[in-house]
Amino acid sequence: MRKPVPHIVPLDNNKLRLSKPKKLAAGIPAVVSSSKHSLKKMGLTRTVKSLSMVNQKSGFDCPGCAWPDPENRTHFEFCENGAKAVADEATKSKVGRDFFKKFSLQDLASKSDFWLNDQGRIVEPLFLSKDSNNYEPISWDDALTKISDRLNALSTPDKAVFYTSGRTSNEAAFLYQAFIRSYGTNNLPDCSNMCHESSGKGLGSTIGIGKGTVKLEDFNHSDLILVIGQNPGTNHPRMLTALRDAKKRGSKIIHINPLPEAGLERFKHPQDYMSLDFKSTKLSDFHLQVKIGGDAALMKGLIKVHLESGGFDTEFIENSTTGFQSMCDNARETPWELIVRDSGVEKHLIEKVGVLCARSNATIACWAMGLTQHRNGVSVIQEVVNLLLLGGHVGRKGAGFCPVRGHSNVQGDRTVGIWEAPSDSFMDKMEQGLKISLPRKHGYDVVNSIKAMADSNVEVFFCMGGNFLSATPDTRFTANALSNVDLIVQVSTKLNRSHIVTGKEALILPCLGRTELDIQKSGKQFVSVENSMGIVHMSRGGLKPASELLRSEPWIVASLAAKTLKNSPIEWNELASSYDKIRDIMSESLHGFEDYNIRVREENGFYLPNPPRDSRTFQTDDGKAHFTTHDLPDVSVESDQYVMMTLRSHDQYNTTIYGLDDRYRGIKGNRRILMMNPLDMLERNWKTRQVIDITSHFEGEERTSGNWLVIPYEIPSGNIAAYFPEANELVPLDSTAEISNTPTSKWIICSLSETSNSDEEE
Ligand SMILES: Nc1nc2c(c(=O)[nH]1)N[C@H]1C(S)=C(S)[C@@H](COP(=O)(O)OP(=O)(O)OC[C@H]3O[C@@H](n4cnc5c(=O)[nH]c(N)nc54)[C@H](O)[C@@H]3O)O[C@H]1N2
Ligand SMILES: Nc1nc2c(c(=O)[nH]1)N[C@H]1C(S)=C(S)[C@@H](COP(=O)(O)OP(=O)(O)OC[C@H]3O[C@@H](n4cnc5c(=O)[nH]c(N)nc54)[C@H](O)[C@@H]3O)O[C@H]1N2
Ligand SMILES: [Mo]
C-alpha cells in the first residue's frame, strides 16, 4: 500500500513583512528584479541569449502571457514577469533520477510549491508504479506502450480524459485533438474552462465570435479605455505600454477594480530610462472601487447615464442589432439605490464615467478574471457588450472588446480544437481535413472531469502541461478524485503538486519548452501560437535543451497516436518529422488557416478572420449583434459573512511560485495572508497578523482552511482577498458560473474565526 500523501500546501517558513502598496509599476525596480532572477537561474550567457530572443521575429513567443507584440519591435519586448517565466524554464537546475530516489512522494508533499518548482527541469521520463512511494526512470518506449495499452483496454474511450494547459503550441494542440478524437472522445477539458470561458460564451452569443475585436493599433485611436477586473501591472505588464501610449494621445482610462492595483496608478516604462525620460505616466483617470461582484450593477448604472446623455449610434442600433428596447427598459427601471448599494460606487462617480462613455467616439473595454470567475460571469460580460453597443463601439477604429487572455497560447489552443464542446461546423471541417469521422458527443469540461473522477468513471487522465490539482477548485475533493484514476500521465517541464498527489499509477513525460531548440528528422522546427488579438505567428526556441531525453510535445503526441491507433489512415510519425506537414493538414482542417505554411512565415504573422472587427458583421443566428437583458444578480450575504476573491501575487505564474513577495502590494515573505478592510478588522478587534481560520459556505456545505494571517488592505468593506492556489481548497466545486461552468474563484462566501491555540507570528 502507498503511504498517505497529504495534499495541503505547506508553508515556506518565512516572516511576513509589510510595506505601503506601491503606486508606480515597472521602472528600475522591475529591471533589477528580473535581472537578479534571470542571472541566478540561468547564468550570464543563457540570460543574454534567451532574453534577446523573447518576442523577436526570429525568436520565441514569451511564455508569460498572450499580449501581442507591436509591429515595430524594440530589443525590449518582454517585461519583468516575462523574464521570470523565461528564466524559470531556462533554469540550469535539474531534477534527475537521484532526486527521485532520495525524495519519496510523502517527502515531496511536505515541500512548498516554491521549493518544488525551484528544484529545476525534469530531465527523463518517470514512472510511479502502483503502491510505490517513489518515481523511477522509464524509457520513452515503455512509457508510451503503457499508455497505449491502457487506452486500448478501456471499455469506452470516454473513460479517458485529456487536459490541456494553455502553453501548448498550435501544432501540438492540433495533433493532440486529432489523436484524441480519432481515438474516440471529446473529453478535452482545458485551463480555459477556468479562465476566459465566460468571455467566449458571453461574446459568442452576442457578437457571433468568442474572441476580442480589437487590434493593438486600436489603443492609439481610442477615446476611452475601460480596464475591468484586471491587474495588468502584474499579469500583463506589456499592456501598460499600450495604455501609456494611448494616454499620451489623449485617451482616458478608467480602472474598475475592488483594489487600487499599482500598474494602473502610475507607470514607468523601463526603456524610458534609456532615453533619459524620467517622468512616470499617471495611467487611470478614475478608479471605480467596485465591490466584488458589483460590476453588473455598475454597468447598469453606466448604461442608465448613457441613455440619459445620448451618444447612441442610432443607425447601427437600428440596422445591426436586436434587443435594444428591452435592455433599455430594464436599465431605466433599475433603481439607483440598488445600483449604488450593489456596486459600492457612489452615484456621482458613476454619472461622471457614464457621461464619458456617452461622449466617447471610440471605447475599448478590457477585462480578465475579475469578470469571468463569477456566477454571473457570462451575463456581466454581456452587460459590457450592452454598454459598448449603445455607441456602436465595435468594428470601428479605436473601439471594441478586449478580453485579455492569460496563458500565452490559450486562445490558439481553442482555435485549433482544444474544446470539449466543438460546434458542428468546426467538426465538419475537421473531418474533411483529417478524412476520418469523429465523435460528436460533447465531453467533460474541467469541473465535470473532476466529478467523473470522483465517481470512478475516469481510468486514464492525460495532461498536456498544467498543474490540475492546484489550479482546480476544492483541493481536498479533487485530490481524492484524482486518486481514483488508474493512470495519470503528465507532459511537463517542471515539478508540481499534481505529480505528487496523483493516480494509482503515474507517468511524467518531460518535454521541450518554448525557449529550446526543437530538432526533428527533417531538421530544425518552429511552432506557432495565437495571441490575445487573433494574430498567429511563429515561435522558435534557440537554447540547448535541458536534457537529451526531452521530447517535443508534437513528437510525444504523434508517437503515442502511432502506437495507440493501429489502423489510423494518418501517418502520425511522418507528421512529427516535419511540422510543415502538420501545418499542411491544419490548412485543410481549420477555417481561416488556408496556406498556413506560407502565411505563418510572414514577418508579423497573420490575423485570423474576425467578422465584427473586419466588417462589422455578426455571425449570430440572425446576423445581428444582440443587446441582452439581465436583472441584477443577488449579491447579498449574511451579516457575518464576507465575499472572498482569490488572486495572483507579483511573484507567481498561476500555480508556479517564483518567490514570496507581492512587491506592488507591499506584502512580502508569506503567501498565507488574508487582505481585509481595516474597519472590518477594527469591528472584530483584530490586529495585523491575527491568525484566523476561513470557512467557505455553499448550499449548506462548509470548507475550512486554517492558519491565515490577517492584514489590513485598501479593499471594500465586506470583501476579502487571498492568494491562488493556497485558497483553492475553499472554492466549492459546484459553485460555477451559469452557462460557462467556470469555477467562481472571485466569489467565495466565507466566515472568519480566530484560530484557537495558535501562536501569533512574532
Ligand atoms: N506574472 C503573471 N502573469 C500572468 C499570470 C500569472 O499568474 N502571473 N497568469 C496568466 C493567466 S492564466 C491569466 S488568466 C491572467 C490573469 O490576469 P488577471 O485577471 O489580472 O489576474 P488575477 O490575479 O486573477 O486578478 C484579477 C483582478 O480582478 C480584480 N477583481 C476580482 N474580483 C473582481 C470583481 O468582482 N470585479 C472587478 N471589477 N474586479 C475584480 C482583482 O482585484 C484583480 O485585480 O494573467 C496571465 N498572466
Ligand atoms: N482559485 C483560483 N483558481 C484558479 C484561478 C484563479 O484566479 N483563482 N485561475 C485559473 C486560471 S485563469 C487558469 S489559466 C488555471 C491555470 O491552470 P494550469 O494551466 O493547469 O496551471 P499552470 O500553473 O499554468 O501550470 C504550470 C505547470 O505547467 C507545466 N509547464 C510549463 N511550461 C510547459 C510547457 O511548455 N509544456 C508543458 N507540457 N508543460 C509546461 C509545468 O510543469 C508547470 O508546473 O488556473 C485556474 N485556477
Ligand atoms: Mo488563465
- For 647-705, write each residue's pLDDT tens digit: 999 999 999 999 899 989 999 999 999 999 999 999 999 999 999 999 999 999 999 99
Ligand 2 atom showing the smallest separation from residue 467 Cα: 20
Nearest alpha carbon, ligand 1 atom 16: 406
pLDDT score recorded for residue 448: 98
* Cα 648 to ligand 1 centroid, rounded to whole Å: 6
Ligand 2 atom showing the smallest separation from residue 493 Cα: 42
In the predicted model, is pLDDT for residue 149 greater than 80? yes
Give mean pLDDT, residues 52-58: 69
CA angle 123, 127, 131 (to 5 degrees): 145
* Cα 638 to ligand 3 centroid, rounded to whole Å: 30
* Cα 622 to ligand 2 centroid, rounded to whole Å: 38
Nearest alpha carbon, ligand 1 atom 33: 370
Same domain as 580, residue 498 = yes
- Residue ending a domain, among 565, 583, 599, is 599
Distance CA 558, CA 520 (A): 12
Same domain as 695, residue 595 = no
In the predicted model, is pLDDT for residue 82 greater than 90? no
Question: Are the C-beta atoms of residues 28 and 493 closer than 8 Å to each other?
Answer: no
Q: Write the CB contacts of 625 (distance below 8 Å, at least 6 apart in sequence).
A: 206, 207, 208, 320, 321, 322, 385, 389, 394, 612, 618
Q: Where do we find the cell 482555435?
A: 415
Pocket test for ligand 2, best of 114, 191, 730 (most atoms within 8 A of CB): 191
Question: Are the C-beta atoms of residues 464 and 168 closer than 8 Å to each other?
Answer: yes
Same domain as 538, residue 674 = no
Q: Write the CB contacts of 60 (distance below 8 Å, at least 6 apart in sequence).
A: 53, 54, 514, 515, 539, 540, 541, 542
> Looking at the CA of 194, which ligand is closest?
2
Distance CA 249, CA 231 (A): 22
Q: Write the CB contacts of 297 (distance below 8 Å, at least 6 apart in sequence).
A: 338, 339, 340, 341, 342, 343, 632, 635
Same domain as 338, residue 476 = no
pLDDT score recorded for residue 32: 64
Domain holding 374, by residue range, is: 197-406
Question: Are the C-beta atoms of residues 180 and 561 closer than 8 Å to each other?
Answer: no
pLDDT score recorded for residue 165: 97
Same domain as 492, residue 533 = yes
> Looking at the CA of 169, which ligand is closest?
2
* Cα 199 to ligand 1 centroid, rounded to whole Å: 14
Ligand 2 atom showing the smallest separation from residue 647 Cα: 7
pLDDT score recorded for residue 73: 62
263-277, 295-309, 507-521, 659-673: the lowest-pLDDT one: 263-277
Tell me if 114 is assigned to some domain: yes
* Bridge partner list, 536: 530, 606
> Looking at the CA of 553, which ligand is closest?
2
Q: What is the pLDDT of residues 406-433, one digit of tens each?
A: 998 999 999 999 999 999 999 999 999 9
> Looking at the CA of 745, which ligand is closest?
2
50 backbone φψ class: left, alpha, beta (φ>0; ψ -120 to 50): alpha
Give mean pLDDT, residues 572-593: 97
> What letter does residue 640 receive in the DSSP assignment?
T
* 728 touches ligand 2 (CB under 6 Å): yes
* 513 touches ligand 2 (CB under 6 Å): yes
Same domain as 385, residue 271 = yes
Tell me if 607 is assigned to some domain: no
Q: What is the strand order of the sheet 400-403 is part of?
A: 286-288, 252-256, 224-228, 363-367, 400-403
Give mean pLDDT, residues 256-275: 75
Q: Dihedral of the CA atoms 304, 307, 309, 313 (nearest 10)?
A: 140
* Cα 53 to ligand 1 centroid, rounded to whole Å: 27
Tell me if 646 is assigned to some domain: yes
pLDDT score recorded for residue 762: 38
- Residue ending a domain, among 348, 381, 406, is 406
Q: What is the rounded average pLDDT for all residues in the chain?
A: 93
pLDDT score recorded for residue 48: 66
Distance CA 4, CA 361 (A): 61
* DSSP structure string for 218-278: GGGG-SEEEEES--HHHH-HHHHHHHHHHHHTT-EEEEE-SS--GGGTEEE-GGGGTTT--
Question: Are the C-beta atoms of residues 504 and 130 closer than 8 Å to each other?
Answer: yes
pLDDT score recorded for residue 150: 98
% residues pLDDT > 90 (the chain): 82
Q: What is the pLDDT of residues 597-646, one digit of tens each?
A: 999 999 889 999 999 999 999 999 999 999 999 999 999 999 999 999 99
Tell me if 375 is assigned to some domain: yes
Ligand 1 atom showing the smallest separation from residue 259 Cα: 42
* 646 touches ligand 2 (CB under 6 Å): yes
Count how many domains the chain has.
3
Pocket test for ligand 1, best of 165, 231, 259, 643 (most atoms within 8 A of CB): 231
Same domain as 539, residue 458 = yes
* Cα 654 to ligand 2 centroid, rounded to whole Å: 5
* Cα 572 to ligand 2 centroid, rounded to whole Å: 28
pLDDT score recorded for residue 10: 77
* Cα 198 to ligand 1 centroid, rounded to whole Å: 14
pLDDT score recorded for residue 7: 84
Cell of 422: 466543438
pLDDT score recorded for residue 24: 72
CA R_g for the chain: 25
Distance CA 712, CA 321 (A): 46
Run of H or E including 721? strand 719-723
Run of H or E including 49? helix 28-51
Give mean pLDDT, residues 287-307: 98
Pocket test for ligand 1, best of 373, 645, 650, 742 (most atoms within 8 A of CB): 645
pLDDT score recorded for residue 523: 97
In the predicted model, is pLDDT for residue 761 greater than 50? no
Distance CA 349, CA 492 (A): 48
Same domain as 587, residue 726 = no
> Looking at the CA of 230, which ligand is closest?
1
Give mean pLDDT, residues 506-527: 96
Cell of 620: 449570430
* 195 touches ligand 2 (CB under 6 Å): yes
The candidate with the shortest Cα–Cα distance to 117, out of 485, 651, 474, is: 651
* Cα 555 to ligand 2 centroid, rounded to whole Å: 22
Same domain as 322, residue 237 = yes
The confidence band for 484, taking pLDDT boundaries of 50, 70 and 90, is very high
Nearest alpha carbon, ligand 1 atom 2: 235
Tell me if 614 is assigned to some domain: no
In the predicted model, is pLDDT for residue 35 greater than 50? yes
* Cα 486 to ligand 3 centroid, rounded to whole Å: 28
In the predicted model, is pLDDT for residue 218 greater than 50? yes
* Cα 235 to ligand 1 centroid, rounded to whole Å: 7
Q: What is the pLDDT of residues 118-131, one digit of tens each?
A: 999 999 999 999 99
Tell me if 23 is assigned to some domain: no
Give mean pLDDT, residues 347-363: 98
CA distances from 697 to 222, 377, 578, 634 (A): 43, 20, 52, 16
- Residue ending a domain, among 379, 406, 433, is 406
Same domain as 176, residue 201 = no
150-164, 256-270, 463-477: the lowest-pLDDT one: 256-270
Q: List the CATH number of the domain containing 657.
A: 2.40.40.20
Question: Are the C-beta atoms of residues 309 and 351 closer than 8 Å to each other?
Answer: no
pLDDT score recorded for residue 26: 67
> Looking at the CA of 295, which ligand is closest?
1
The confidence band for 21, taking pLDDT boundaries of 50, 70 and 90, is confident
* 189 touches ligand 2 (CB under 6 Å): no
* 709 touches ligand 2 (CB under 6 Å): no
Which of 222-226, 542-546, 664-668 reaches the highest mean pLDDT?
Answer: 222-226
Question: Is 129 exposed, middle or buried (CB count within 10 Å of its CB: 0-12, 13-18, 19+)?
Answer: middle
The confidence band for 43, taking pLDDT boundaries of 50, 70 and 90, is confident
Tell me if 413 is assigned to some domain: no
Pocket test for ligand 1, best of 65, 409, 656, 676 (most atoms within 8 A of CB): 65
* Cα 654 to ligand 3 centroid, rounded to whole Å: 8
Distance CA 613, CA 214 (A): 7
Ligand 2 atom showing the smallest separation from residue 165 Cα: 19
In the predicted model, is pLDDT for residue 54 greater than 80? no
Tell me if 664 is assigned to some domain: yes
Same domain as 349, residue 245 = yes
Ligand 1 pocket by C-beta < 6 Å: which residues?
A: 64-65, 81, 195, 228-231, 234-236, 256-259, 261, 290, 292-293, 295, 368-370, 406-407, 645, 647-648, 652-654, 746
% residues pLDDT > 70 (the chain): 93
Nearest alpha carbon, ligand 1 atom 11: 406
In the predicted model, is pLDDT for residue 272 greater than 70? no
* Cα 330 to ligand 2 centroid, rounded to whole Å: 39
* 492 touches ligand 2 (CB under 6 Å): yes
Q: List the CATH number of the domain containing 428.
A: 3.40.50.740
Same domain as 570, residue 462 = yes
Q: List the CATH number of the domain containing 328.
A: 3.40.228.10
> Looking at the CA of 446, which ligand is closest?
2
The confidence band for 91, taking pLDDT boundaries of 50, 70 and 90, is confident
Ligand 2 atom showing the smallest separation from residue 166 Cα: 19
pLDDT score recorded for residue 41: 74
